C-alpha cells in the first residue's frame, strides 16, 4: 500500500466541493503501473466532471492529464519499466493526485527533452489541436478557418500549428490583450468578441464568403453564430461546451444554411489505436522540439489549491496552459 494525497469531491457543484484528502493506494495490478506525478494539466473538461455536466459516480475524482515517473509495475506489464518518464491525457479521471495507479493503455512515452510540465500542459491540448487540424478537417497551405478561444491552451497551440501548415486562422478571444496574444501565436486575424460581432468580421475578412470550417469549443453561446460563419458545404467542428451544452440541432437548419456538416469528435476516438496515439504524440513533440509550437504555461497552482484554479479557469482569467503541481 502507498499513501498519497488527492483532490476528491462527494457531490457535484462549484469549486468549493473539491477537497484535499489522504488516501491509500493498492499495489498495481495486472497491466497497471504506479505513477509518481510531477505535473498535472488543468482542462475545462475537469469542470464538466465537477459540475456533473459529464456525470460520473460519486465520490468522484478529477483530471485526465498528467506526467511523471513509473515507480512500480504490475504483473504482465510490457513495454514500460520502473523509471520510465510517461504522460497520459485519456482514460478515467483521477489525475489530481500525487500518485496514482493507472493502466498502461493510455500511457505515452516522453522523450528526455520534453519536461514534465510541458508534457502535462500540452498532451491533451496539443493532441486535441493535432487531431482537429490534421485529422478532423486536415488543413493545408492556403486554407482559412475560424477558431474560437484563440488565447486558450488549445487555441494557442492550434494557431502555431496552423502557421506551420501555411493555413490562415481567424481567432476569437475575449479581450484586446488575448487577441494580441493570439496574433503572436500564429493567427492571421483576431476578433475581440466583446467589442465586435464576429460573424460580421468573419464575413468582412472573407469577402462575404465565410469560412469552410469552424472549430468551436465554446458551445451554447457561439453555436448559431458559428454556423452563420460557414460557407456552403462548410464543416462545424464542435469539440467543447465552455459556455454550456449546444442546443438541439435541427437538420433542416443545416440544409437552409447551405448543406452544412457538423461533427462532434473526441480525442479518445482518435487515440484508440496505440500506434496512432504514439505517432500523434511524436508529431507533437517534434513540433515542440523544433520551436514551431511553444507551450505557454502561464499559471501554476499547488494541487491542493485546485479549487482556486477552477475559479480562475471558469472566470476566463487564465491564458494559455495551466498546471497543478503535487
Distance from C-alpha of 249 to C-alpha of 101, rounded to nearest angstrom: 40
Q: Pick from 264, 283, 316: which residue ends a domain?
A: 264
Distance from C-alpha of 124 to C-alpha of 42, rounded to nearest angstrom: 10
Model pLDDT for residues 206-250, shown as the tens digit of each residue: 999 999 999 999 988 899 999 999 999 999 999 988 788 888 889
Domain at 219, CATH number:
3.40.50.720
Q: Is 215 within the bounds of a domain?
A: yes
Q: Is 130 within the bounds of a domain?
A: no
Q: Strand, helix or coil at 184?
A: helix
pLDDT of 240 reads 86
Number of structural domains in the chain: 2
pLDDT of 264 reads 96
Task: Examine the domain organization and report whether 12 and 92 are in the same domain.
Answer: yes
Q: Is 131 within the bounds of a domain?
A: no
**Pairing status of strand 230-238 against strand 261-263:** parallel
The reply to whether the predicted model has a pTM over 0.95 is no
pLDDT of 2 reads 87
pLDDT of 251 reads 93
Task: Examine the domain organization and report whether 14 and 72 are in the same domain.
Answer: yes
Q: Is 132 within the bounds of a domain?
A: no
Q: Pick from 232, 264, 296: which residue ends a domain?
A: 264
Task: Examine the domain organization and report whether 241 and 299 are in the same domain.
Answer: no
Let me know: does 214 contact 238? Beta carbons within 8 Å: no
Task: Examine the domain organization and report whether 311 and 203 are in the same domain.
Answer: no
Which residue range is the domain that position 212 belongs to? Answer: 141-264
pLDDT beneath 70, residues of the chain: none
Task: Examine the domain organization and report whether 112 and 145 are in the same domain.
Answer: no
Task: Examine the domain organization and report whether 195 and 296 are in the same domain.
Answer: no
Q: Is 168 within the bounds of a domain?
A: yes
pLDDT of 54 reads 85
Amino acid at each position: 500500500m502507498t499513501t498519497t494525497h488527492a483532490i476528491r469531491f462527494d457531490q457535484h457543484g462549484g469549486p468549493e466541493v473539491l477537497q484535499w484528502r489522504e488516501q491509500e493506494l493498492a499495489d498495481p495490478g495486472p497491466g497497471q503501473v504506479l505513477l509518481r506525478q510531477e505535473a498535472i494539466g488543468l482542462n475545462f473538461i475537469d469542470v464538466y466532471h465537477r459540475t456533473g455536466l459529464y456525470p460520473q459516480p460519486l465520490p468522484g475524482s478529477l483530471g485526465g492529464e498528467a506526467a511523471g515517473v513509473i515507480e512500480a509495475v504490475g504483473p504482465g506489464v510490457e513495454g514500460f519499466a520502473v523509471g520510465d518518464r510517461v504522460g497520459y491525457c485519456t482514460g478515467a479521471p483521477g489525475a489530481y493526485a500525487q500518485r496514482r495507479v493507472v493502466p498502461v493503455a493510455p500511457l505515452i512515452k516522453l522523450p528526455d527533452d520534453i519536461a514534465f510540465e510541458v508534457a502535462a500542459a500540452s498532451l491533451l491540448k496539443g493532441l486535441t489541436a493535432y487531431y482537429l487540424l490534421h485529422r478532423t478537417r486536415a488543413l493545408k497551405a492556403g486554407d482559412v478557418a475560424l477558431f474560437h478561444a484563440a488565447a486558450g491552451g488549445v487555441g494557442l497551440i492550434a494557431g502555431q500549428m496552423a502557421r506551420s501548415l501555411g493555413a490562415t486562422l481567424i481567432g476569437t478571444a475575449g479581450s484586446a490583450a488575448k487577441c494580441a496574444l493570439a496574433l503572436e501565436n500564429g493567427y492571421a486575424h483576431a476578433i475581440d468578441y466583446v467589442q465586435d460581432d464576429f460573424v460580421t468580421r468573419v464575413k468582412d475578412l472573407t469577402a462575404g464568403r465565410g469560412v469552410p470550417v469552424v472549430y468551436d469549443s465554446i458551445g451554447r453561446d457561439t453555436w448559431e453564430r458559428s454556423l452563420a460563419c460557414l460557407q456552403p458545404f462548410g464543416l462545424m467542428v464542435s469539440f467543447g461546451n465552455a459556455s454550456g451544452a449546444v442546443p438541439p440541432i435541427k437538420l433542416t437548419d443545416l440544409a437552409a444554411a447551405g448543406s452544412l456538416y457538423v461533427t462532434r469528435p473526441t480525442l479518445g476516438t482518435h487515440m484508440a489505436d496505440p500506434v496512432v496515439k504514439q505517432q500523434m504524440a511524436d508529431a507533437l513533440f517534434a513540433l515542440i522540439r523544433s520551436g514551431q509550437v511553444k507551450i505557454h504555461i502561464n499559471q501554476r497552482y499547488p494541487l491542493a489549491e485546485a479549487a482556486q484554479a477552477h475559479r480562475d479557469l471558469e472566470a476566463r482569467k487564465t491564458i494559455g496552459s495551466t498546471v497543478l503541481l503535487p
